[in-house]
Amino acid sequence: MISRRMLVLTGFALAAAVPALAKEPVTWDEAAFDAAKTAGKPILLEIHAVWCPTCKAQTPILGELTSELKYADLQVFKIDFDTQKDLLKKLNVRMQSTLIVYKQGAEVGRSVGDTNRDSIAELLSKTI
């Protein structure tokens, strides 16, 4: 017979064993981006450079925030600052660590060099 205590303890064990899954960014794909925009999905563009300390500070914050259930539909695209210069020009991006968000196919916000969890969360909330 399963006691109430066993059930509660089992629930805690299962919750601890299944960590929240962060939304893994995908490498830039123009066709996928266009499809997501056309479908009206929430989108985050993360302009990243491997050598950038600000980008490194943003990564765990973005991982934590995008793992929240409210961002389950968020499409995250990572753009390499060093190798995708034509795309950066098209997006009017001048610096690495730029975050751009879209809602219903339109840009609704961007930030540059932000490592504050609360302001990044506020930016992401514009997508929903």
Domain of residue 93, residue span: 20-125
Say if residue 2's pLDDT is above 60: no
Q: Are 127 and 76 in contact (CB under 8 A)?
A: no
> Is residue 4 assigned to a domain?
no
Q: What does the pLDDT look like over 82-125, one tens digit per residue?
A: 999 999 999 999 999 999 999 999 999 999 999 999 999 999 99
pTM, two decimal places: 0.80
Lowest model confidence (mean pLDDT) among 1-10, 33-42, 81-90, 97-106: 1-10
pLDDT value of position 6: 45
> Is residue 25 assigned to a domain?
yes
Q: Is 42 helix (H, G, I), strand (E, B) or coil?
A: coil
Residue with tokens 């914050």: 61
Give the chain's domain count. 1
> Is residue 70 assigned to a domain?
yes
Give the CATH number of the domain where residue 97 resides.
Answer: 3.40.30.10
